[in-house]
Structure 1
Amino acid sequence: MVKSVVSVLSLLAASASAFAPVVVSNQKTVVSSALHAEMSKAVPFVKAPANTAGYVGDVGFDPLGFSDYFDMKWLRESEIKHGRASMLACLGFVVQEYITIPGYTHVDDSNLAPQAVGVSAMLQIVLWMGVLEFWTNKGNVTMETMFSSPDRIPGNLGFDPMGLSVGKSQAEKDEMALKEIKNGRLAMLAIGGMIHHNWVTGEPLF
C-alpha cells in the first residue's frame, strides 16, 4: 500500500513538473541579453572590445584589436594628439591658400607647402615637437614609461589658458572631452580627404 502511494505521488510530481514555468527559456533570454550586451555599438555584428570600456567616446570600435596588444592609455593619448594635430592641419591647409608668410613663396596647392618653405622649416617643426613631447611627458616618451604614474591622464597636459574647465563638474568635463575626441576623429578623416583631393585633382581645395 505504501509503495503504491509513493508511486502515485512520484507520478503526480513528474506530471506537475511538466506544467512548471519553463526555466530554460529564461536562461536563453539571459544568455542572449549577455551576448547582446557584449556586441559593439558601432559595429553590431562584432563583439565590443573589453579594454575600451569606460573611456570617453567609446562605441566599441576596435576592429583590428589594438587595445588587446597595446596600453589603452597610450592608445587614447595617441588618438587625442593625432586629433588635435589634424584639427590644426585642417585649419592651416585652408589658411595657407589665402595667407602667405612674408618672405615665402605662395602656393595654391597645400601639398606643395613643404617644398615652398624648404627643409629647414620642416625640420624646425620636427625638432620643436620633439622638445614639446619630451617636456610634457617629463622625459618618459616610451609606451612603457609614459604612464608609469597612475595619475597621468591621457591627453591632459594642464593646458587651459582660457579656463574653460574651471568650475566644471566631471560630467561637464567628460562632455567637453567627448566633443574634442569627436572633432578630432572628424579632422583626421578630413585632412586625409583634403590632401588626397589635391593629389588626385591637382587643384587647390578652394
Structure 2
Amino acid sequence: MKITALCLTALVSASHAFAPSTPSSASSSARALSTESTSDVPLLQIKEKVPCFGAAPFIGDNDVFFGENYWDKLTMEYGSAETGQYLRAAELKHGRAAMLAVVGFALQKLGVTFDKISPHEYLSVTQNVKFADLAAMGPLQAVQAVPLEGYAQVFAAIAAVEIYELTHRDGEIKRDESVAPGLQPGGLTGDLGWNPLDIKITEDRRLKEIQNGRAAMFAICAWVAAEAVPGSVPLPLPW
C-alpha cells in the first residue's frame, strides 16, 4: 500500500508539472517590470521592428517579403538596426556583382567579345591566352581558361575597394580612430561616394538598383545552370 500511495503521489505531481499554469505573483511581477522601473531593476526593453529597405508589397498593401522571419531574427534578436544596414550593404554589393556578371555572360553569348574591340591580341602573353581563343568558348569555359594571375588582379582590385570603404568616411581616411570606420556599427553601407556623373541619388533610384540586383542574381544563377546542364531551365533565352 505504501508503494502504491507513493506511485499515485508521483503521478499526481508529474501531471501537475505538465498542466497549464495559472497567473502567479511571479508573472505579475514580470509584467510590472515591463511598465514600472525602480532604482534597482531597469525597464525591460523590447526592440522595435527594423524596416527592410527594398521590401516590395507581396500581398495587399503591406510590405511582406521572403525571409522576413530571418530578417527579424538577425536585426532584432541576434543583432540590431546596424546589422540590417550591413545586410543591405552586402545585398547591394552582391547585386552589383551579379549585374556585371549578367552583362559579361550576355556579351560572351552574343559574340561581343574583346577580340573585336581590344587593340591587344593576348589576354596573357606569358600564358599564351588570346582573346580570340576565349571568344570561341562558352562563358563557363572562358572563365575557367583565365589564368590564375588574372584572378589575382581581380581580387586585388576588389580588395582595394573594400579597404577603401573600411578606412574612409565621407571621402577622407580616418587615422586617429582605434576601430576602422567600416568595422564600426553601421560603418559599411556600400556607398563609396563615387559619382562622376553627378547623378542625383533618390530613394527611387536606390530601390531600382536593389531590385535590378536581385533580378540579376536570379538571372545569372539560371544562366549558369542552363549552360552547365542544357535543358535545366525551361525558359527561352535570347541566344
Query: Is there any run of 5+ residues in structure 2 with no aligned partner, and where?
Result: 1-47, 56-62, 116-120, 123-129, 170-179, 232-236
Structure 1 residues without counterparts, runs of 5 or longer: 1-48
Deviation readout 1:58-80 (Å, 9 max, x if unpaired): 24432561434351111011000
Q: Following the alignment from structure 1 to structure 2, what is the Cα–Cα distance between the partners of residues 115 and 153? A: 32
Percent identity of equivalent pairs: 28
Q: Distance in 2 between matches of 1:177 and 1:139?
A: 22
Q: CA RMSD in A?
A: 2.9
SS in 1 for 2:167: coil
Contact map agreement 2:95 2:216 (CA 8 A) in 1: yes
Determine the C-alpha separation between the residues in 2 that align with 1:145 and 1:135: 10
Question: Which of 104, 108, 114 is the aligned partner of 1:100?
Answer: 114
- TM normalised by structure 1 equals 0.61
Q: Alpha-carbon deviations, 1:27-76, whole Å to 9, x = none?
A: xxxxxxxxxxxxxxxxxxxxxx932x1x4312443256143435111101
TM-score scaled by length of structure 2: 0.53
Superposed counterparts of 1:1-206, under 5 Å: 50-51=49-50, 53=51, 55-58=52-55, 59-61=63-65, 62-63=67-68, 65-66=70-71, 67-68=74-75, 69-70=78-79, 71-97=83-109, 98=111, 99-101=113-115, 102-103=121-122, 104=130, 105=133, 106-138=135-167, 146=182, 148=184, 152=187, 154-165=189-200, 173-201=202-230, 206=239
8 Å contact 1:90–1:191 — kept in the other structure? yes
Report the Cα distance in structure 1 between the residues aligned to 2:86 and 2:238, rounded to whole angstroms. 34
Count residues in correspondence: 145
What is the SS of the residue equivalent to 2:53?
Answer: coil
Segments of 4+ moved more than 6 angstroms: none
CA distance, structure 1, for counterparts of residue 53 and residue 69 of structure 2: 20
Q: By how many angstroms is 1:186 displaced?
A: 0.4
Which is bigger in relative contact order (C-alpha 8 A, separation at least 6)? 1
